Chains A and B, each alone.
Chain A
Amino acid sequence: MSDSCDNHCPPMNDDHEVVKIAHGGGGRAMAQLLDGIFRPAFDNPWLARQHDGAVVDMPGAMAFTTDSYVVRPLFFPGSDIGTMAVHGTVNDLAMCGARPQYLSAGFILEEGLPLATLRRVVDSMAAAALEAGVQIVTGDLKVVERGKADGLYINTAGVGRVVAPQPVAPARVRPGDRILLSGDLGRHGVAVMTAREKLDLESAIESDCASVAPPVLALLEAGVDVHCLRDLTRGGLASALVEVSESAGVAAEIREADIPVREDVSAFCELLGLDPLHVANEGRFIAVVAEPDVARAVDVLRRYPVSEAAVEIGHFVQGAAGLVTASSMIGASRVIDRLSGEQLPRIC
């Protein structure tokens, strides 16, 4: 990189370049990195102002969320850390009954990370943001020494305007409320595992990472009284159900036979002794509505590709808070619990 570089730097030659400590130093190297990779990708008026922060209009109640992304490997079938970083935060805002609008993005880069990799992640984020209709308006960049940060960590925070007329939260869950599941389970966790674990197998399973804001907003716009929403991330459907039940002070009963799991995801789980109910998802959620609203809600959800397989899987009941039971395929019942520790592939 030459010393005399003005605002219109020629495009960076990524081919053999890597992130260096200087890129995080706040000086010229950092400016070149921002101009060369970040600004072109996230291009919007706030970033163009190059200010310490972004000032945005946010009338009414605002939803605010944050999440950090440390997935390994950075790229896996169907998605990558960048796409996850956008959709994850967008989805959390949607779960609050809000229209996602603005994101911040903080990057911690490992010295030695190839610039080409960084560009790929950033471009992915830009594409995901465009798809989700959000803008990345402010951000931060740090570089740490080789050996830390696994290549790249991302934190995103997001804000959105609450559009739900009533609060969307576990406190509104009542015994008798039905549980709608937006789609099949386990694709994301399995996709990441196939890329990470060197399992020596051929699989066509891709991550389900996607924004779920469109069907959620459609539900709200249709006037469906959504009592609660929860997206299924780490810990899978099981954790989401247990957490909502616990917070709401109710128990839940679900029907295992009605929970959609693709055959290949099911086979993968069988091979490694995993339970699909505990496997991570990145584009799935549960919606809790009163019984009379079920048919209309399912109808709305099924109009969107991300929730085209939406189905009612059970309901909440009076009972011990957090106790979730599932009737098995053969009719007897078992307790569904949160995952304990890490799911280890079993042989025995």
Chain B
Amino acid sequence: MKYRDEYRAPDAARGYADAIARITTRPWTLMEVCGGQTHAIVRFGIDQLLPEAISLIHGPGCPVCVTPIAYIDKALEIAALPRVILCTFGDMLRVPGTQSDLSAARARGADVRVVYSPLEALTVARQNPRHEVVFFAVGFETTAPANAMAVYQAQREGLGNFSVLVSQVLVPPAIRALLERPGNRVQGFLAAGHVCTITGYEEYEPIAREHGVPIVVTGFEPLDILEGVYRCVRQLEQGESCVENQYSRAVRRPGNAMAQQVMQAVFQVVPRQWRGMGDIPDSGLGLSPAYRSYDAETRFGAVNGEAEMRGDCLSGAVLRGEIRPDQCPAFGSRCTPERPLGVTMVSEEGACAAYYRYRRPTGGSARE
């Protein structure tokens, strides 16, 4: 597959790994923010190619993982109503709410449909005029333009039976929040490449400056991640802290103007609660006043309740990068994908799920 397979070339991967080893003189701790990058690192064993001195920490880059449990409960409440069809991305289907999850609800007869694109939810609404169709709009900035377009088109058509349950979050405020936490160990970031195709990377420049951390906009294939690590480590070794763009084949500094336009029309910045991180001001998107009537919270009641699950799940610490999944006492024993304690084990992009899938507690191939 073009523009994918080339970035998995073994010789080039080794070349970057060697280059990183040559320039590393001290231990450095980097965080990659995006779940897709976590997945690639664990799947391809990229961390195994790096010198011991480099620690890669996985950040809260999984919008499924950071969605407060109260939103799952609200989705379940909505799905249980008569003449309602709940449309969702596949990722949300098995995320546990307080009592249950959407997959179980569907098995019990709720009309829950998995869609690949938000536009499919619109189609469901058009085809079922006597049903209320609610789309569970989760995602980072990468998904926001698609979700926005669905609402935009719904309003243009006057589609009255369509609404969205919005749980959109923004990456830069989360990075700031992590850097401001006492005890933060992260010295450099690999920023999420696809998020930046939409937003560009101007807003990362003040963060790099104010906190003195290099931020490298990075792609998702092994060579992208290795180059991103190289650039980050090189800056750290040289005492620099700027924003670099490794993913230049997809990302431009101003981002995607058209996508930003539609997002700004449909959404507005709002405070959001993040699982594992608590309240972060100005860290999410909600519907703007012009589109408020398409808000599922307007039609079905506001979401209120817990962000976190009770119990001994340490997904919050994992999301903040304080522990690795295999450092959690429940990992692989009381907590497995079949019987997950929390969302980072359920979500395919969750760090715990990635570790479980590609690194086993019983020895496997983990370096440590």
Contact = CB atoms under 8 A, between A and B. Distances in A.
A/B touching: CB–CB < 8 A: yes
A329 B45 CA distance: 10
A348 B365 contact: no
Interface in A299-348: 320, 323, 325, 328-335, 337, 340-341, 344-348
Contact of A335 (B1, B349, B358): B358
A17 interface: no
Interface in A251-266: 257, 263, 266
Contacts of A266: 1
A273 interface: yes
A200 to B, nearest CB: 8
Given A344-B348, A347-B90, A347-B91, A328 B139 contact: no
Contacts of A345: 90, 114, 116
Contact of B90 (A331, A332, A335, A346): A346
Nearest to B8: A329
Given A325-B364, A340-B338, A334 B62 contact: no
A293 B356 CA distance: 35
Contacts of B64: 348
A199 B116 contact: yes
A270 interface: yes
A259 to B, nearest CB: 14
A172 B116 CA distance: 45
A334 B93 CA distance: 26
B253 interface: no
B35 A348 contact: yes
Nearest to A253: B365
Chain A contact residues (Cβ within 8 angstroms of B): what range? 20 to 34
B238 interface: no
A323 B348 CA distance: 21
Contacts of A335: 357-360, 364-365
Contacts of A9: none
B46 A323 contact: no
B4 interface: yes
Given A328-B44, A347-B116, A341 B94 contact: yes
A330 B365 contact: no
A263 B5 CA distance: 10
B317 interface: no
A61 interface: no
Contact of A263 (B1, B9, B42, B91): B1
B59 to A, nearest CB: 15
A267 interface: yes
B89 A333 contact: no
B362 interface: yes
For chain A, what secondary structure do more than half of its interface residues adopt (helix, strand, loop), or is it mixed?
A: loop
A329 B44 contact: yes
A332 B13 CA distance: 10
B348 A346 contact: yes
A348 B139 contact: yes
A205 to B, nearest CB: 15
B348 A332 contact: no
Nearest to A329: B8
Interface string B278-291: 00000000000000
Interface string A249-287: 000000001000001001100101100000000000000
Contacts of B362: 320, 323
A340 B337 contact: yes
B46 A267 contact: no
Contacts of A272: 116
Contacts of A323: 360, 362-364
B143 interface: yes
A328 B43 contact: yes
Contacts of B138: 348
A344 B365 contact: no
B349 A346 contact: yes
A346 B9 CA distance: 25
A330 B10 contact: yes
Contacts of A273: 90, 348
B63 interface: yes
B48 interface: yes
Interface string B1-23: 10010001110011000000000
B364 to A, nearest CB: 5
A337 B114 CA distance: 25
Given A341-B337, A348-B62, A348-B139, A333 B45 contact: yes
B97 interface: no
Given A332-B45, A347-B91, A348-B89, 16 more contacts: A263-B1, A270-B1, A273-B90, A320-B362, A323-B363, A323-B364, A328-B45, A330-B14, A331-B14, A332-B44, A332-B365, A334-B42, A334-B44, A344-B348, A346-B91, A348-B62
Interface of A: 199, 257, 263, 266-267, 270, 272-273, 320, 323, 325, 328-335, 337, 340-341, 344-348
21 contacts: A272-B116, A320-B362, A323-B362, A330-B9, A331-B13, A331-B45, A333-B45, A334-B45, A334-B358, A334-B359, A335-B360, A335-B365, A337-B360, A341-B94, A344-B94, A346-B91, A346-B348, A346-B349, A347-B116, A348-B62, A348-B63
